[in-house]
Amino acid sequence: MESPIAVQRPTDEELRLFLDRIGRRLADRLPDLDPVAHREQVAGLLRQAGEANFYQLLDISSTARAQEVHEAYDQIARLVHPANAGRLGLIGREGVLEMLFERLTLAYLTLFQTDRRKAYDRELDPGAWGATAWGAAPDRRREEARGVAQGYYQRAVGLAAESDFHFAIELLQQAVRVDDSRPEYHFLLGKLQAKNSRWLRVAAENLEHAGAMGSRDPELPALLAQVRERLTAGEALRRPSTDGSSPSPAGRRKGREVPEVEVLNPDGEEIDVPWPVPDKRDRW
């Protein structure tokens, strides 16, 4: 049996050249999207980056010709180029855009070059073209996804250290969707969710899951006990205070009312954290 051929990651020089080329395109013409729609598209790419195969990531068919690959990459890469950080409200958080740009560039280099594409296609699982993007993908594909999830987690650690909790939670939610086998992902997600009383229930679930998976983080027992005590005391059902003692910035934003109960969807699962707004003062 032929051994798997590893996808060749872009070199630093390749990334620099692509960043420069796309950056020049952006200097001539910004994406034809308003900032809100632009943020939504980038958020969508972030959600699928770890699970989609390269064809799905570039939104092309498996029979796309080289010119179609080039055009698709050129269009999407312009959306995630780090130069867009200002209009997306991501100043200081360009690392997220850099991760997406590298992933898209890897997809382009793989599908544009004939030999790489043939090797990639031989290993692409047929089930990946169904409703589930990942499905029963080969082990190497799973390893690629785990690498993306690890990148999300590492970036979330940095954002959490800067008290940028909203975006850190968004990255961690994507990390656990892609790779549900790492207790540290669930622990950090639960720890950050516990900072908002509306998310205490899902925080407890993530902390419990981390413990069940064998997490040895010394903070876990005390933090989980504290979250359970807060739930028992009914903190998740209280209306946030208006005196500034324990506000949630999401509830202070224009036109948004804060619910009196924890924000859950009808299936009892957490909703996605809203994409962060540009104002850096809007923090927990």
Which domain CATH number covers 19? Answer: 1.10.287
Q: Is residue 235 part of a domain?
A: no
Q: Is residue 54 part of a domain?
A: yes
Q: Could you give the CA distance from residue 193 to residue 177 in angstroms, rounded to a whole number?
A: 16
Confidence (pLDDT) at 238? 61
What is the number of domains present in the chain?
A: 1
Domain containing 7 equals 1-126
Task: Detail the DSSP E strand segments found in the chain.
Answer: none
Query: Contact 31/139 with Cβ under 8 angstroms?
Result: no
Angle between helices 94-112 and 139-161 (to 10 degrees): 160
Which structure tokens are listed for 58?
């570039």
Query: Contact 25/78 with Cβ under 8 angstroms?
Result: yes
Query: Contact 253/277 with Cβ under 8 angstroms?
Result: yes
Q: Is residue 178 part of a domain?
A: no
Return the closest-CA partner of residue 5 out of 110, 148, 130.
110
Q: For every one of its 284 residues, what pLDDT tens digit does the chain have, with 9 covering 90 and above?
A: 333 444 567 888 888 999 999 999 888 888 888 888 898 888 888 878 777 889 999 999 888 999 999 999 999 999 999 999 888 888 887 888 888 899 899 999 999 998 889 888 887 755 444 433 434 345 556 677 777 788 888 888 988 888 888 878 888 888 888 788 999 999 999 999 999 888 899 999 999 999 999 999 999 999 999 999 999 998 877 654 544 444 443 343 333 333 333 333 333 443 343 343 434 433 34
Q: Is residue 138 part of a domain?
A: no
Q: Is residue 217 part of a domain?
A: no
Supply the pTM of this predicted model. 0.56
Q: Is residue 8 part of a domain?
A: yes
Q: Is residue 191 part of a domain?
A: no
Confidence (pLDDT) at 252? 38
Which structure tokens are listed for 276?
């962060």
Which structure tokens are listed for 165?
């909790």
Q: Could you give the CA distance from residue 159 to residue 192 in angstroms, rounded to a whole number?
A: 11
Q: Is residue 161 part of a domain?
A: no
